[in-house]
Amino acid sequence: MTVRVRRVYDPPEPEDGVRVLVDRLWPRGLSKDAARVDRWPKELTPSAELRRWYHAGEGSYAAFAERYEAELAGPEAAQLLHDLRDVVQSGPVTLVTAVRSPQESHASVLARLLSS
């Protein structure tokens, strides 16, 4: 099982496998052809409230990850996460995001959950 996290602005690579955009909004200034996104499960992204809370600097990354995992336990998100795990079982998956620091974002939380 291979799950990678990359910025959506980085050029696609053959090792990416299935590219999954894990942002609620489409990345600015990027065409759909250039992004080469295979899936876009918006319901797996953090809620607007959680995003605002984290970006306002009100909590640590660890607290954000804990709250995000709680959101992913909801029925719709849990089903999408299960479906994405099935994709991971079939080959490499790359979670792509527009955030500047993907290693301290929701994408890395998803990657960890998908890899476990």
Query: Tell me, what DSSP letter sits at residue 37?
Result: -
pLDDT per residue of the chain (116 residues) written in tens, 0 to 9:
689 999 999 999 999 999 999 999 999 999 999 999 999 999 999 999 999 999 888 889 999 999 999 999 999 999 999 999 999 999 999 999 999 989 889 999 999 999 88
Nearest-angstrom CA–CA distance, 12 and 96: 10
pTM: 0.92
Nearest-angstrom CA–CA distance, 113 and 116: 5
Q: Do residues 5 and 104 touch, judged by C-beta distance below 8 A?
A: no
Domain ranges of the chain: 3-115
